[in-house]
Structure formats: structure tokens, C-alpha cells
Structure 1
Amino acid sequence: MANTRKLDREIAAVKNKLDRVRSKDSSALPAGDQAKLAGYIGVALAKATRLKSSPMAERGADRIWSNASERLAADLRVLEGERQAVIDQEAAARREKKKASWF
């Protein structure tokens, strides 16, 4: 079997982080996005205390969550593709070995 343990650990970590982002856990975001999110939340709270809406802040916060989710989903697809490539290479090597030793 192909040695994919390192890739499996990375895939598990990215899946965990993606689940945390989808459940809106701000600790899963990079520091810059956490700071932006805190600013948007501050604006939304300040407006809410004056009984006003803050659609710009809400859109900005939603954009941060969706961008983070898209980035992590893309990373996950890349890692899974790399894992599959390793498995395919191992299978091809086994097939070649069997072909060579057949005679």
C-alpha cells in the first residue's frame, strides 16, 4: 500500500479546519481575517445599539467566511488529488513489476 500517512494527516487537518469555518469558529481563520471580522462585528454592534442596520458589515463578514471556506475547500481538493496521484503511481509501479517478473 502506498505510504500516504502524511497526506492523510494533512487532509484530516484541513477537513477539521473547514468544518470549524463552516460552523463559524473564528479561531479557524487566519489572523488577518480574524481582525477584519472583529472590525465588522464591532461596526455591526455599534450600529445595532443605535437601532440601525449594517448591511455592509454583514456582507463583509459573510464574504470573509465564504472566502475562507472556498480556500480550504480548494486546499482539500489539491491534497486529495496528490494522495490519489501517489496511489496511482504505486499501482503503476506494482503493475510494471508484475509485468517484468512474468517471464
Structure 2
Amino acid sequence: MAKPNTRQFDRIIETAGRKLQGVRNREMWALPAGDQAKVAGYVGVAFAKATRLKSSPMAERGIDRIWANAEAALTAEIAAAEKAKAGVLAEHAAAKVAKRAESKWW
């Protein structure tokens, strides 16, 4: 019986892991395009307020919220891919056991 093909899940886990590391390092490339635009908008608001010597807690909270949501989404994506991979491996193992139980060579 051939080994189960889990390359697709491995690739998803690896890609999401790299993106998660990028999000944790606050690198913009790791965010989806829509979130990159939102962060740029918040940075623009914060910059405009800073030039007028005012604070912008709303913009800072917005940016923090975007990073936190991105981290949560990537963590969930990794967990789901690992669960799916484990399911494929368990299914393969169950089929292997059933095949062995079916043949009565001993």
C-alpha cells in the first residue's frame, strides 16, 4: 500500500507558517491586500495627527486589531490543515489495518 499523499497539506502548513512568522514580525507582505490597504490608511491618519501634535489611539488600535486578526486567521488555517493531514493519515492507517486483518496469512 502506497504512502498517503500529504504534500498539499504540507505546502499549506509551510506557507501559512511563513506568513504567520511575517505577521508576528509585523511585515506588510504577510497581510492580505485589503488589510495592507487598511494599515496604510491608519498609518496615514496617524501621520496626519502626529504632524498636528495630536495622538491617534483609534488608528493604533485599528492597526493592532488588523495584526491580531491576521495572526488568529493564520493560526486557525494551520490548525485546520494539520487536522486534515492527520485525518488523511488516520484513514490510511485504518485501511492498512483492515487490509492486514482481511488477509489471514498467520
TM-score bracket relative to the smaller structure:
over 0.9
The within-5 A match list for 1:34-45 is 34-45=36-47
In the aligned structure 2, how far is the partner of 1:65 from the partner of 1:5?
29
In the aligned structure 1, how far is the partner of 2:7 from the partner of 2:33?
29
CA RMSD of superposed structures (Å): 1.0
In the aligned structure 2, how far is the partner of 1:77 from the partner of 1:23?
20
Partner of 1:48: 50
Q: Give the TM-score taking structure 2 as reference length.
A: 0.92
Gaps of 5+ in 2: none
Deviation at 1:89, TM superposition (A): 0.3
Deviation at 1:76, TM superposition (A): 0.8
Partner of 1:92: 94
Q: Which amino acid aligns with 2:30?
A: A
Deviation at 1:48, TM superposition (A): 1.3
In the aligned structure 1, how far is the partner of 2:16 from the partner of 2:7?
14
Gaps of 5+ in 1: none
Deviation at 1:31, TM superposition (A): 1.1
Partner of 1:22: 24
Deviation at 1:47, TM superposition (A): 1.1
In the aligned structure 1, how far is the partner of 2:42 from the partner of 2:104?
67
Percent identical pairs in the alignment equals 53
Deviation at 1:24, TM superposition (A): 0.6
